[in-house]
Amino acid sequence: MKKHFLWGLSFFALACSTKTETKVEAPQLSGNPIFEGWYADPEGVVFGDEYWVYPTFSAKYKEQLHFDAFSSKDLVTWEKHANILDTAAIQWARQAMWAPAAIEKDGKYYLFFSANDIQTPERSSYDPNNDINHFGGIGIAVADNPGGPFKDYLGEPLLSEFYNGAQPIDQFVFKDVDGTHYFFYGGWGHCNLGKLNADFTGFEPWEDGELFHEITPEGYVEGPFMFLRNGTYYLMWSEGGWTNESYKVAYAMSDSPVGPFERVGTILERDSIATGAGHNSVIQKPNSDEWYMVYHRRPIPNEDRDHRVTCIDVMEFNSDGTIKPIVMTFEGVAANPID
């Protein structure tokens, strides 16, 4: 009896020792914000097998004199590339460099940006005794690598004039399927559209001889961005005031990159997570229908005009192609390496 008891005990112990436990690990998440520091106006873009984000260094205008960039293989772990461009390289930029936008062409990387917060005499913000914002606009820098260092491409602004009432800021370059590089830009409630020439030194005129056509949709304030999905062109922009909690993102859909653009609705705005969510961009994982909204927002409580952080959340579509409202999170997104 004792022998059988011991044999049974041994069998039980063996069974317990050979049993394996399956541990389910929680997915890696980016968290929001996706990197430390005050950063705004982020442009997300894919170069090769890496995700890149180019944001504004969010500070007072006199301190906002350089750009950092961030890269990731999986959307979760981000590497900082410090000081990829500053006013030492852009001699004409004297204050307030912001809203970078990057694109690759023929093996070179071009970084478009706004500088100097250029004003016009008829506006109350124009100071005749301080010429720091009498000249400026949209510049362009170039590098051999997406992490720079970038250098001034033209030695002067690409665009410094005012057309259709649009302040020359907040540019975005969209490459269409036919190779045309469309140039969206504009502040002060006006959005203009032009076409960059082949070497990015200027603009090709439209058929009517004009360099820029105004395409301003209802509610537009600033920050245009375009992407293409399933043959539909989506134009996004920011509404409200960038210095406060009213900032938000709206969009339009069109069969053409030149419009017309009729406002569909708001898809990103304040909630219990954060306020002042806006000036966004969109990242598509290559060869997939997986999309992400990259944007800045103001933490709650917000203690300063320039306390803005860069975040990422999933962007999804309804069956008719319209965009579902973005759900802001503290968790961010799961790891998603580019195949």
Q: Hey, which residues are catalytic here?
A: 41, 222
The answer to whether 89 and 149 are in contact (CB under 8 A) is: yes
Cis peptide before 149 (omega within 30 of 0): yes
C-alpha closest to that of 245 among 273, 274, 216, 208: 274
The answer to whether 333 and 293 are in contact (CB under 8 A) is: no
The answer to whether 60 and 41 are in contact (CB under 8 A) is: no
Query: Cα separations (Å) of 42 from 32, 70, 257?
Result: 14, 10, 22
DSSP state of 3: H
DSSP state of 287: T
Q: How far apart are CA 270 and CA 276, in angstroms?
A: 6
C-alpha closest to that of 242 among 275, 282, 283: 275
The answer to whether 328 and 274 are in contact (CB under 8 A) is: yes
C-alpha closest to that of 111 among 87, 88, 84, 78: 84
Residues 86/91/97/101 CA torsion (nearest 10 deg): -80
Q: How far apart are CA 182 and CA 197, in angstroms?
A: 10
What single-letter amino acid sits at 143? Answer: A
Strand, helix or coil for residue 196: strand
The answer to whether 308 and 38 are in contact (CB under 8 A) is: yes
Query: Cα separations (Å) of 125 from 55, 85, 133, 159?
Result: 25, 27, 9, 20
